[in-house]
């Protein structure tokens, strides 16, 4: 099996590059290549990253003026075109446990199209999500929230064809990882949790998905993200039309001051974009 660890490198996170490099160099497996897609690093910066990695490094360059989502699609497509069977994903500003690559390889099964592992706060032993399912088989599991990110997942490229990859190339996606795994699940692909390996997630000002908070601006952002998400997915399934209509009406009522969102916080939901008790709103407000 041909395995790659892939990431998009970009200037905004270059200040974290040394931690990323150390994390990759310290992996307890040598049975993988590193694929780097350069977004906007200059030649000196890009060479500094690639030359510091102690594995076989394959370098590609992002197409000029590409959106963030387009760069991720290019990374996946390039990896498949170059014959990789398993693409382990990791963000350039995050770090990983020493066994992340080896554990995913050892737990690989042909039946699964993607894999995911636990997410921790950077440089701590505190979990970001405490209760991830052992398997994910239905779109319902991430219909109104998400736990599958581009830094704690891996793709079985043998199961993913070019037609499906092309479906990912949608313009103006706010949350690409949520969109991608929604597409996979809608196309009957299934995922498996890999135990006992970790991604250490860095929260900073560039994150669209950060830590769950109960501030009104964060809840309003959740509504806007969901409207964007469902608008992109409704062409694949009419179920998303109902969700889009609900969140559009909710946004209108919030903007008009008719709903106090802080009365509907779901503090038990740790997942991204799952902070609202949407069913309670539907019942009480008849939306």
Q: What is the pLDDT of residue 204?
A: 66
Neighbours of 231 (CB within 10 A): 17
Q: What is the pLDDT of residue 207?
A: 60
Specify the pairing of strand 95-96 against strand 86-89.
unpaired
Burial classification of residue 98, based on how many CB atoms lie within 10 Å of its CB (0-12 exposed, 13-18 middle, 19 or more buried)? middle
Residue 204 and residue 110: Cα distance in Å, rounded? 36
Neighbours of 4 (CB within 10 A): 27
Residue 33: which of 59, 12, 9 has the closest Cα?
A: 59
Q: What is the pLDDT of residue 172?
A: 85
Mean pLDDT, 10 residues at a time, over the chain (287 residues)? Answer: 98 96 97 97 97 97 93 98 98 97 98 97 90 96 96 98 94 93 96 97 69 80 96 91 96 91 91 93 87
Q: What is the pLDDT of residue 171?
A: 84
Counted residue by residue, the chain has a size of 287
Cα→Cα distances 52→55, 57, 93, Å: 9, 10, 16
Element (H, E) at 249: helix 239-255
On whether the CB atoms of residues 10 and 68 are closer than 8 A, the answer is no
Residue 139 and residue 190: Cα distance in Å, rounded? 10
Predicted structure pTM score: 0.95
Cα→Cα distances 144→140, 158, 167, 276, Å: 8, 28, 21, 9
Cα→Cα distances 181→2, 10, 16, 211, 257, Å: 22, 23, 27, 20, 34
Q: For 203, which DSSP code?
A: P
Query: Which domains does the chain possess?
Result: 3-201 (3.90.550.10), 216-285 (no CATH)
């Amino acid at each position: 099996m041909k395995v790659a660890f892939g990431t998009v490198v970009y200037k905004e996170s270059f200040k974290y590059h040394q931690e990323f490099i150390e994390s990759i160099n310290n992996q307890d497996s040598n049975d993988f290549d590193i694929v780097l897609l350069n977004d906007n690093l200059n030649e000196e910066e890009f060479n500094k990253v690639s030359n510091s990695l102690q594995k076989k490094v394959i370098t590609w360059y992002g197409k000029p003026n590409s959106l963030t989502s387009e760069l991720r699609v290019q990374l996946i497509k390039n990896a498949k075109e170059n014959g990789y069977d398993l693409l382990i994903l990791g963000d350039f500003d995050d770090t990983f446990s020493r066994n992340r690559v080896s554990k995913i390889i050892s737990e690989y099964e042909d039946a699964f199209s993607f894999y995911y592992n636990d997410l921790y706060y950077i440089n701590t032993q505190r979990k970001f999500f405490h209760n991830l399912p052992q398997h994910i088989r239905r779109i319902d599991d991430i219909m109104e929230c998400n736990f599958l990110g581009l830094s704690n997942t891996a793709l079985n490229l043998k199961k993913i064809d070019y037609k499906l990859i092309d479906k990912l190339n949608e313009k103006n996606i706010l949350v690409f990882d949520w969109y991608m795994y929604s597409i996979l699940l809608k196309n009957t692909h299934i995922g498996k949790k890999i135990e006992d390996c970790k991604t250490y997630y860095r929260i900073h000002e560039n994150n669209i998905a950060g830590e769950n908070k109960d501030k009104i601006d964060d809840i309003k952002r959740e509504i806007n993200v969901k409207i964007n998400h469902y608008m992109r997915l409704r062409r694949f399934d009419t179920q998303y039309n109902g969700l889009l209509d609900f969140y559009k009406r909710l946004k209108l009522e919030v903007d008009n001051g008719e709903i106090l969102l802080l009365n509907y916080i779901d503090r038990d939901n740790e997942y991204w974009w799952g902070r609202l008790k949407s069913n309670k709103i539907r019942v009480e407000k008849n939306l």
